[in-house]
């Protein structure tokens, strides 16, 4: 399977896409009690998307794979789900559900994202500064260098600085 068709968060590419992926969008709701004891419900202006799911890692290195995912979930970053636009997400939870003797580890995850600001609407393109090369950009945005080079065929050498104000496609 081509790497761009797999789920990815920051620099971690899932070896096998999760079996279950649930994407729910809505507004956050707050509540408080009034003086007479009635509950007052307020609607926050933030539209939130929650991405959750379950999957399995297989093989002798399934525990190591889980640890690599856990390490990538220490801060926010780009989340790529096959068939959807990339979004900027914040990891909320990662847990191991079970691990058996057959070298199978089952896990559950949860991310949240700002539904109103998909990551790629304004972040799909950046512009060179005359100092950074494609390698630097790939590292900064946790992108695959081969895919980045493929999207930017006008840049001959990924190890040379990209010209100032030269457009670079990230995905």
In the chain, % helix, strand, coil (3-state, to 5) comes to 20, 45, 35
Residues 138, 89 share a domain: no
Instruction: Give residue-wise pLDDT tens across range 133-163.
Output: 998 888 887 788 888 888 888 888 888 998 8
Q: Which one of 118, 133, 157 terminates a domain?
A: 118
Residue 69 has pLDDT above 60, yes or no: yes
| 74 has pLDDT over 60 | yes
Phi, psi of 123, rounded to the nearest 5 degrees: -105, 10
Let me know whether 57 and 98 are in one domain: yes
pTM to 2 decimals?
0.57
Query: Quick one: 110 and 149 in the same domain?
Result: no
Per DSSP bridges, beta strands 12-13 and 87-100 are unpaired
DSSP calls for 104-153: EEEEEEEEEEETTS-HHHHHSEEE--SS-BHHHHHHHTT--HHHHHHHTT
Average pLDDT, the chain: 80
Identify whether residues 164 and 104 lie together within a single domain.
Answer: no
> Which CATH number do you get for residue 38?
2.40.30.200
**pLDDT for position 42:** 52
Instruction: Name the domain count of the chain.
Output: 2
Same domain, 82 and 19: yes
In a shared domain, residues 55 and 31:
yes
What pLDDT sits at residue 35? 58
């Amino acid at each position: 399977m081509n790497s761009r068709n797999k789920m990815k968060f920051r620099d971690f590419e899932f070896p096998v896409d999760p079996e279950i992926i649930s994407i729910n969008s809505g507004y956050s709701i707050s509540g408080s009690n009034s003086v007479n004891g009635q509950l007052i419900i307020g609607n926050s202006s933030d539209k939130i998307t929650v991405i959750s799911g379950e999957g399995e890692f297989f093989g002798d290195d399934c525990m190591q794979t889980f640890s690599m995912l856990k390490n990538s979930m220490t801060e926010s970053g780009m989340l790529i789900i096959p068939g959807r636009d990339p979004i900027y997400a914040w990891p909320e939870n990662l847990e191991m559900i079970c691990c058996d003797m057959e070298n199978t580890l089952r896990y559950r995850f949860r991310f949240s994202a700002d539904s109103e600001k998909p990551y790629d609407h304004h972040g799909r393109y950046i512009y060179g500064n005359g100092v950074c090369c494609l390698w630097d950009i790939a590292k900064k945005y946790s992108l695959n260098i081969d895919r980045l080079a493929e999207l930017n065929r006008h840049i001959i050498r990924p190890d040379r600085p990209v010209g100032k104000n030269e457009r670079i496609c990230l995905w």
